[in-house]
Structure 1
Amino acid sequence: MTPIAPTARSAAHAPGAASAPTPGPPDHRGGHPRLRALATVVVCSLVGPAVYLVLVGVSLEEGELRSPGAWVVLLGLDAGVGLAACALAGVARGSRAMALGLVAASTVSAWALPAGAVGAVRAGAHRSRAVDAAVVALVVVGGTGYGRLQALVAPPSPDPLPLWADLAGLSLVAVLLLLVGRARGTRSALVASLRAQAEGAERERAALAAGRAAEVARTRAEERSAIARDMHDTLSHQLSIVALHAGALASRDDLPPERARDAARTVRDAAADANAVLREVLVALRSTDPGQRLGHHGGAEPLPTSASVEEQAARARALGQRVEVAWRGLAAVDLDERSPATAVSLAQVLAELLVNARKHAPGEPVDVVLAHEGADLVLRSSNSLPSSSAPALGTGLGLVGVAERARLLGGSARSGTTPDDRFVVEVVVPWSA
């Protein structure tokens, strides 16, 4: 036979354990909060004094101080507020109050300007119009007021800017810092949203995998239960034969020796068949579910025999399906001389395969071969792949049930496509008497 290659359909239907969740990318903003806080404090503590010294030097070069004492007090206040602001720049990074406090400190301290810029960016990251308005108001009002206070004690500027220019410049700086913060906040919110969606998708995938595994386990349990019911009916049939002929032997003492030997042989053969079925029942019986499963034998339905195989094909033909059944190396009646489980299993498997072909390859003819190959009985079903690219919807549990039935009978089942674009299912069970 041409080797069968696995297909996407069969691979998708194969049971498997759910894979471990894939970890997401590290959070670059919160992965090392202490290091980030320390880096912010260090940078502000280095840049702040540099800005402070530059502005003090520029003021001294402009001329004589108007009020040296008041100017020294302002310098001390500037340095004290700047030191506190730089130290607090790494604290409470997500707090709006702390961000506004840093902005307010920068309006009265050149030393605190770097910390104030950090606070404005953090305030913008909250993406709140009220917070943005508060930042602009603090920068404009506080900066303008403190600048006018310094003008009273510092040397007069030879070319002072008009008030509107101060207001416009401070507003522009505040808006730019807020925009930077808003961009960072938007990016962080987007990353958090994508991460939440990825985690949700992973949880959903894990739930689907768990549900799929539960469906496969349920299908296998139902298949075992169906096999047990089939074997129970077969065993009852064999035991009834034993009881009938044994009763005849016990009640008749005038039977000719030849008739008595025939009855004894019938009892012996029926007991051997019942013993074989009993072994299969003990292997297959795993579920205590007494419910009946659609499409399986049970209740008042007759026991499947070799004729049931042809009956399944006839039913499919009545539904418009083209089915050809070929027997190789054995005849239909040979099945009745084997274990009763053989005919039962073949009838159930063939019914499932014909339904599967009718669903996934409608209109395509199905070729069924039953062959005696060595020590095995092989059922091989094949059909051409449909030309349509859209596969039929299905649970994929039909082939799982076929494989489970074959496995419990000591055989195996495989499916896939051949190089000539045919879908083949091959079921192999032992050829046992």
Structure 2
Amino acid sequence: MTYHRGGNTLLHALLWTGVCLAVGVLILAIGVGAQWPDPQDAGGQAGALRAELFVHIAFGIVALACLPIVLLFDGRTIPRKTLRPKVLAAEKFRDFLTASGRGGEEFLAEDGSVESLQRRPGGWIPVAVGLLGILLGTISLLGAVAASALLITLSARRSWSLDFACLAVAIASQSMAYTLTPNAFGQFELPIFLVNGAVFAILVVIGVIRGAREQGLIDTAAQTLLRERSRQDRAVAEVRRGIARDMHDSLSHHLSVIAMYSGALSVRRDLDPESVHESARLIAASARRSGIELREVLTMLRGDDQGTVIDPDLERLIADRSDTVELTYAQPLTPELLHSVGALERTTIYRFAQEAITNAVKHAPGQKLLLTLSWISELESVEMLACNAHIADAPTVAKARDQSLAGSGLGLRGLKERMEAMGGDLSVARTPDFELRARIPVPNLKEEIA
């Protein structure tokens, strides 16, 4: 079984057996008082009456003995006290799975359902004992209530074949009662037989509904738990994508610059000392900046801050590359207005410029990159445009680029995710020039411009 049974289950079984015994004794007393004549007046029927009374008592005792056995092995995979709407919540369900050794996905069936937690027939021994109790208890006045409880309990075990078997045994037992206990049942009458059969069918339906309700509670709790796990998995995946995006945005740009200029230095032998000095300065600056941003990203990952701590200084980024990058603010947008927007918007604009510069360094070295920031009043958005001409690959430049750089396409993908997460968009055009255009909504900037 999937959980340990304690004294409460045994006490529950004995309690119901006691209730069935008390009600059975009352029914037997009423039946005997109503149907049996005085033994002195019975005459030749006295022996038959005593034999019939023995059948009622003996068969009833057997049915009452079968009841606690079936209740103890009732086929449940989750304790009865847990199967309540206000108890079987996802948290309690998780605790049960952990305590019963099903802490992972083991509670799922192969098809991903939770049918592995439904009621089971419980083995052939309790089923056989239950059918015997129904067969004998239906005949006996003393065991009639116990037989009804057995009929409901077995019908709740989520097995249609067992449900039909219980109903068939009950009807067959009713037929036998006309022969074994004629004083209690009287002569065979079809209306009474049909009414009793309908009662047995209702008891079976009650058992089926009971089992379906329990399974519905299990399914609801399990599906809630699965949805929670799915949300957690999606959250973890989103965090991983964010980490990958931040690592790419923080390091890829600087490493690309380092790889480009160091590759050019290894190939170009005709550079003058001033050019070599400038390339070395850019390499050193990019290396220092990449170290700083790496520490900032690691600080963010180790802390509880889900944002970014990188200083999005767009002017400093452009100043380091003033010979190859030109930044323009289209009126009415100005650098001062841009500094007044939120940190998230500034960081996104910074990442856009950084990715545009990285792509230009990789794929169009030596070409002028034009960055234009403008305000679209109709959309209350800032539009970013990066444009650079294509380059005719010179042999030395192409060799240096191919040896040191390999584009993965993750930069534009991550940038697109950033824009869409803020309600903006990103588009790429490759003819006649390479053009990267993005837009992010900045509604609070409207008041500043007005």
Answering whether residue 276 of structure 2 is matched by residue 280 of structure 1, we say no
Matched letter for residue 210 of structure 1: V
Match of 2:325 among 308, 311, 335: 308
Change (3 A) 1:175 1:275: closer
Larger radius of gyration: 1
Query: Partners in 1 of 2:261 and 2:335 — Cα distance?
Result: 24
Aligned equivalent of 2:302: none
1:8-407 equivalent positions in 2, closer than 5 A: 35-60=8-33, 62-65=36-39, 66=45, 67=47, 69-71=50-52, 73-94=54-75, 95=121, 96-126=127-157, 128-151=159-182, 160=186, 162-223=188-249, 224-230=251-257, 244-245=272-273, 276-284=285-293, 304-305=321-322, 308-310=325-327, 326-327=334-335, 347-348=353-354, 366=382, 395-396=417-418
Q: Does 274-283 or 218-227 show the bigger shift?
A: 274-283
Query: Partners in 1 of 2:354 and 2:145 — Cα distance?
Result: 80
Query: Partners in 1 of 2:52 and 2:221 — Cα distance?
Result: 53
Matched letter for residue 279 of structure 1: R
Change (3 A) 1:136 1:282: closer
Post-superposition shift, 1:106? 1.5
The answer to whether the 8 Å contact 1:120/1:178 transfers is yes
Q: Secondary structure at the match of 2:139?
A: coil
The answer to whether the 8 Å contact 2:136/2:143 transfers is yes
Aligned equivalent of 1:373: none
Aligned equivalent of 1:411: none
**TM-score if structure 2 supplies the norm length?**
0.50
Query: Partners in 1 of 2:280 and 2:193 — Cα distance?
Result: 108
Structure 1 stretches of 5 or more lacking a match?
1-29, 248-265, 288-302, 314-321, 330-343, 369-392, 401-414, 425-433
Query: Partners in 2 of 1:423 and 1:186 — Cα distance?
Result: 63
The answer to whether the 8 Å contact 1:304/1:347 transfers is no
Matched letter for residue 241 of structure 2: E
Tell me how many residue pairs correspond in the alignment.
291
Query: Partners in 1 of 2:152 and 2:219 — Cα distance?
Result: 21
The answer to whether the 8 Å contact 1:107/1:142 transfers is yes
Matched letter for residue 73 of structure 2: A
Q: Secondary structure at the match of 2:334?
A: strand
Aligned equivalent of 1:6: none
Percent of counterpart pairs with the same letter? 15
Q: Which whole-Å deviations, capped at 9, do the CAs of 1:189-228 have from their partners, x for residues lacking one? A: 3233333332332332222222212211211221212223
Query: Partners in 1 of 2:351 and 2:322 — Cα distance?
Result: 10
The answer to whether the 8 Å contact 1:144/1:166 transfers is no
Post-superposition shift, 1:171? 0.5
Post-superposition shift, 1:78? 3.1
Change (3 A) 1:86 1:189: closer
The answer to whether the 8 Å contact 2:27/2:141 transfers is no
Matched letter for residue 327 of structure 2: E
Matched letter for residue 220 of structure 1: D
Aligned equivalent of 2:83: none
Q: Secondary structure at the match of 2:417?
A: coil
Post-superposition shift, 1:149? 1.5
Query: Partners in 1 of 2:443 and 2:274 — Cα distance?
Result: 53
Query: Partners in 2 of 1:195 and 1:179 — Cα distance?
Result: 24
Query: Partners in 1 of 2:377 and 2:175 — Cα distance?
Result: 81
Query: Partners in 1 of 2:357 and 2:332 — Cα distance?
Result: 14
Query: Partners in 2 of 1:307 and 1:398 — Cα distance?
Result: 29
Query: Partners in 2 of 1:182 and 1:73 — Cα distance?
Result: 34
Change (3 A) 1:192 1:397: farther
Q: Which whole-Å deviations, capped at 9, do the CAs of 1:43-75 have from their partners, x for residues lacking one? A: 222332432344245324531352155245325
Q: Secondary structure at the match of 1:310?
A: strand
**TM-score if structure 1 supplies the norm length?**
0.51
Post-superposition shift, 1:93? 0.8
Query: Partners in 1 of 2:247 and 2:150 — Cα distance?
Result: 64
Q: Which whole-Å deviations, capped at 9, do the CAs of 1:207-257 have from their partners, x for residues lacking one? A: 2222212211211221212223235657899999xx94589xxxxxxxxxx
Query: Partners in 2 of 1:138 and 1:399 — Cα distance?
Result: 65
Query: Partners in 2 of 1:215 and 1:32 — Cα distance?
Result: 46
Query: Partners in 1 of 2:446 and 2:336 — Cα distance?
Result: 24
